[in-house]
Amino acid sequence: MVVLGAGPAGLLLGNLLLAAGIDCVILERASRSHVENRARAGFLAPNTARILERHGLADGLHRYGHRHGTCEFRTREGRFRLDYGLLGQGEQHYVYPQQNLVTDLLRHYLDLGGRIRFDTEALAVHDADGTRPSVTAREPDGRPTRWTARYVAGCDGRHGAARRSLPPDAVRHHHDHGVTWLGLLAEAPPSLDAVGYALHERGFAGHMARTPEVTRYYLQWRRGTAADAWSEQRVWDELDVRMRAEDHGPLHRGPLLERGLFDLTCEVIEPLRHGSLLLAGDAASLLAPAAAKGANLAVLEAEMLATALTDALTRGDTTGLGTYSDRCLAHIWRAQEFTGWMTRLLHAAPDADANGGHGTGADALAGSFFQAGLRRSRIASLRTSRIHQDWFAENYVGV
């Protein structure tokens, strides 16, 4: 087996294949230190925890992660909290920084004797329509190499070699929500004991704890503006305004360790299997970060793919591989649907210029008032309807 990418998908898949006695090598273009320190997501779904527990990979999560089950919406009409851990299926998230999960998975993979080639970029996947696909790669010293296996797992994200090697008939669904976030990592303790979603006339702001010392914030951001366009002072002042700090209490400020821009777009590749090449994680689908589902889908798909590959490689049973794409896509589309609903809840209709200037003038204005009315109604229903809150909770933590 050749696995492309050492993110949550590739590393979990590598661990499960090794545990099943299947030889595999992971090709990872970044360095080990980059992979282990890259701050990404941090909200693990209950099902993700169950998958890690099933395979003895949850030690770090149980030791350092902590449960979380409340989100707080702040709007012009006031604020309300949803203890989603007591709603729906009564399940909570784990807050556990992704770099910690990746470090756990990597250490476990190496302890099992797993092979991984850092600083080794996969360039293309060849002959995926046959039974001896190969991967051409560039070694750290620039030398070209070729890796041949029975199957290749593309876990190398949306810009990786697997996506580039898909056949022309692969369907690439793409949707742009027309919204951009400025993602911030602040060296400051969380300001709320909840995930904070602030819906303000000036734009969305978000607050998500990562550790007792570090907090993730988001600001809806005009697309095309540089991440460092504002001073730290101006960023914090804007967060105060949108989080309505005057009404609900000050935010804990601190140095901004990281800034990044996130266009809220989503993608789905169909199908996820092309002969001997199979996709998982961001290589298979990309979600807007509004509902923190990317890493959880990656773990789910990696376990499904590991089971299917193990059946095929150890027992010659390819049934699981045959249904892998449809089974994953059912989860992917459900996650896309909820993430799309959440994105429309949190943001006013995208700026006209974010959509390239379409819909200007009186019609657009009427349309945006109409959209604003729908949004107010959704928020009111979420605030008052227990049935709606149960639906929200089940989808918010589900994968």
Q: Does 105 participate in binding ligand APR (rule CB under 6 A)?
A: no
Amino acid, single-letter form, for residue 264 = L
Residue closer to ligand APR by CB (options 10, 203) is: 10
Return the residue of 6, 106, 251, 342 that touches ligand APR, per CB under 6 A: 6
Question: Smallest distance from the beta carbon of 397 to ligand APR, in angstroms?
Answer: 16
Q: Does 294 participate in binding ligand APR (rule CB under 6 A)?
A: yes
Cross-strand partners of 138? 121, 144
Of 24-32, 50-58, 76-84, 198-206, the window that binds ligand APR (rule: CB under 6 A) is 24-32
Question: Smallest distance from the beta carbon of 300 to ligand APR, in angstroms?
Answer: 11
Q: Does 268 participate in binding ligand APR (rule CB under 6 A)?
A: no
User: What are the respective helix, strand and coil percentages of the chain, to the nearest 5?
Assistant: 40, 25, 35
Return the residue of 1, 3, 10, 336 that touches ligand APR, per CB under 6 A: 10
The DSSP call for residue 90 is -
**Could you tell me the two tokens for 328?**
């994953």
Return the residue of 22, 41, 49, 321 that touches ligand APR, per CB under 6 A: 41
Question: Smallest distance from the beta carbon of 14 to ligand APR, in angstroms?
Answer: 11
What CA–CA distance (Å, rounded) separates 301 from 279? 9
What CA–CA distance (Å, rounded) separates 9 from 298? 5
On the 0-12 / 13-18 / 19+ scale of CB atoms within 10 A, 240 is middle
Q: Does 5 participate in binding ligand APR (rule CB under 6 A)?
A: yes
Number of residues that bind ligand APR (CB under 6 A): 27
Of 5-13, 82-90, 199-207, 271-279, the window that binds ligand APR (rule: CB under 6 A) is 5-13
Provide the pairing of β-strand 66-68 with 25-27: unpaired
Of 94, 151, 324, 396, which one is the catalytic site residue?
396
Annotated active-site residue 396? The verdict is: yes
Annotated active-site residue 68? The verdict is: yes
- Mapping DSSP onto H, E and C, the string for 172-196 reads EEEEEEEEEEEEEEECCCCCCCCEE
Q: Does 308 participate in binding ligand APR (rule CB under 6 A)?
A: no
Of 105-113, 249-257, 293-301, 359-367, the window that binds ligand APR (rule: CB under 6 A) is 293-301
Of 8, 68, 190, 274, which one is the catalytic site residue?
68
Cross-strand partners of 250? none
Q: Does 185 participate in binding ligand APR (rule CB under 6 A)?
A: no
Of 6-14, 43-51, 344-352, 358-366, the window that binds ligand APR (rule: CB under 6 A) is 6-14
User: Residue 119 region, left (φ>0) first, then alpha (ψ -120 to 50), else beta?
Assistant: left
Non-local (6+) Cβ contacts of 193 within 8 A are 70
What CA–CA distance (Å, rounded) separates 150 from 322? 15
Annotated active-site residue 293? The verdict is: yes
Of 8, 97, 133, 289, which one is the catalytic site residue?
289
Annotated active-site residue 167? The verdict is: no
b/e per residue, 334-371, with b = 16+ CB within 10 A? ebbebbbbbbbbbbbbbbbebeeeeeeeeeeeeebeee
Residue closer to ligand APR by CB (options 157, 203) is: 157
Return the residue of 3, 18, 22, 27 that touches ligand APR, per CB under 6 A: 27
Of 293, 324, 347, 350, which one is the catalytic site residue?
293
Three-class DSSP category at 56: coil
Q: Does 339 participate in binding ligand APR (rule CB under 6 A)?
A: no
Tell me: cis bond preceding 271? Omega within 30 of 0 counts: yes
Of residues 136-165, which lie at the interface with ligand APR (CB under 6 A)?
A: 155-157, 160-161
Sheet of 121-126, strands arranged across: 121-126, 134-138, 144-148
Q: Does 8 participate in binding ligand APR (rule CB under 6 A)?
A: yes
Q: Which sign does the torsion angle of CA 219, 398, 273, 132 carry?
A: positive
Question: Smallest distance from the beta carbon of 127 to ligand APR, in angstroms?
Answer: 18
Residues designated as active site: 68, 197, 289, 293, 396
Binding site for ligand APR (CB under 6 A): 4-10, 27-30, 35, 40-41, 98, 121-122, 155-157, 160-161, 281-282, 294-295, 298
